[in-house]
Amino acid sequence: MAVYLVTSADVGAPSLTGQNGSGTTVFDYIFVTVGGLTIQDTATNKRNYVLPNGDIYHCVHDDTVTGQVYLMLCRAAESASAIDTLTNPYPNTTQVADTLCNFRVSNTSDATARAWWAILDTSATTGCFYFFNAAAGSTFVNGIWWAGGTLISALPADNYAAISYNRNNSSTSTNANQSYPHDFVTPLGSSAGRTYLKRSADGSIISSACSGNPWANNSSVTVLGSYTNGPTTPHPVDGKIRIAPVAVNDYYSQTSATGAGVEALRLWIPRMFQPLHISGSYSSIDSGDTWADSAYGASAKFIFFKCGSTAGSGGGVVIQYDGDWSVPNG
């Protein structure tokens, strides 16, 4: 098990641009060159990466599939028999079509390089992959993520503890709201449609829908890190950043209509935290800023990303990139 913080500033890191294949080249570097994971299937601008829990991450950076050269498709699945033949994907293509199951690599279709950051935990118990990029060339981020492992469930028995986030939007507008550069965190604080579980805990619902758990998120609005009555950043008393763990529920359904086995608290999202500060107060912090916190763990280190604007009007998210992650429910 190892945890890696990988960035576009690292020596040897490839550039991320709005050109076909750039995204898979970057992901090859993160997953294989740095993380030591494997590629099960490959084709031009397409990869099936084997995730830490054994699942597949199907990634395509090709406009013949995504509909736009600066969109990259990422879809998790339980397995695959060929590059484009996925078994039990989450989300499935009925829930989110290939042209929507994406993130924005850039906001231009050219060789302009965009800054990027990735956090990869290769553990089978707390595995996760978080990818952020400055698609608009600014200090707020776009992104995509996956998490899965035997220790992240809040339930006493759960053999399907894995989750995948997608943009679920086909807009190619470069307008901030239309392109969702800040929507990396929103689905954890609001509605279903962008985060999907591998299965319900009993295995009966494949690609079960979910959204953020309001109690676990401690947010008074629909976006992580946008606490309406919270303090400014940094905290005026001690100059620190307040954070809280993030969890998701389980609708026990493939839609937003909850089923009989709905779970209010299903998974803890490993290494992800939300800052508990007032929306739009993150101007003094840049995406990619890091700090250590020995009070949380002897070697614990964190990295911050803001969303929506340079002031973080779309909230923010904090990822622990070093040290042991403590499961909130023990």
Per-residue pLDDT of 188-212, as tens digits, reads: 545 567 889 999 999 999 999 988 7
Q: Quick one: 239 exposed, middle or buried, by C-beta within 10 A (0-12, 13-18, 19+)? A: exposed
Percentage, residues of the chain above pLDDT 70? 90
- Distance, in Å, from the CA atom of 61 to the CA atom of 122, rounded to the nearest integer, reads 23
In a domain, 80, yes or no: yes
Predicted confidence (pLDDT) per residue in 273-285, tens digit: 988 898 788 888 9
Asked whether residue 163 is assigned to any structural domain, the reply reads yes
Report residue 181's pLDDT band, with 50, 70 and 90 as the boundaries. very low
Q: 8: domain range? A: 3-219+254-268
Over residues 109-125, the pLDDT tens digits come to: 999 999 999 999 999 99
Average pLDDT score, the chain: 89
Number of domains in the chain: 1
> Can you give the pLDDT at residue 329?
67
Residue 192 within any structural domain of the chain: yes
Tell whether the model's pLDDT for residue 25 goes beyond 50: yes
pLDDT of 15 higher than 60: yes
Residue 236 lies in a domain: no
pLDDT value for 216? 45
Q: Is residue 10 part of a domain?
A: yes
> What is the predicted pLDDT for the residue at 177?
46
In a domain, 104, yes or no: yes
Q: Write down the pLDDT at residue 6.
A: 98
Q: What is the pLDDT of residue 170?
A: 79
Mean pLDDT of 101-116: 93
| 308 assigned to some structural domain | no
Rounded CA gap, 152 and 318, in Å?
A: 17
Per-residue pLDDT of 212-257, as tens digits, reads 764 444 445 567 787 778 899 999 999 889 998 888 889 999 998 8
The model's confidence at residue 296, banded by pLDDT at 50, 70 and 90, is confident
Q: Is position 312 within any domain?
A: no
- 3-class SS letters over the chain: CCEEEEECCCCCCCCECCCCCHHHHHHHHHHHHHCCCCEEEEECCEEEEECCCCCEEEEECCHHHHCCCCEEEEEEEEEEEECCEEEEEECCCCCCCCCCCEEECCCCCCCCCECEEEEEECCCCCEEEEEEECCCCCCECEEEEEEECCCCECCCCCCCCEEEECCCCCCCCCCHHHHCCCCCCHHHCCCCCCEEECECCCCCCECCECCECHHHHCCCCCCCCCCCCCCCCCCCCCCCCCEEEEEEEECCCCCCCCCCCCEEEEEEEEEEEEECCCCCCCCCCCCCCEEECCCCCCCCEEEEEECCCCCCCCCEEEEEEECCCCCCCC
Per-residue pLDDT of 33-84, as tens digits, reads 999 999 999 999 999 999 999 999 999 999 999 999 999 999 999 999 999 9
Question: 9 pLDDT band (50/70/90 cuts)?
Answer: very high
| Structure confidence at residue 319 (pLDDT) | 96
Residue 196, beta-bridge partner list? 164, 209
pLDDT for position 188: 59
pLDDT of residue 187: 52
- pLDDT score, position 218: 47
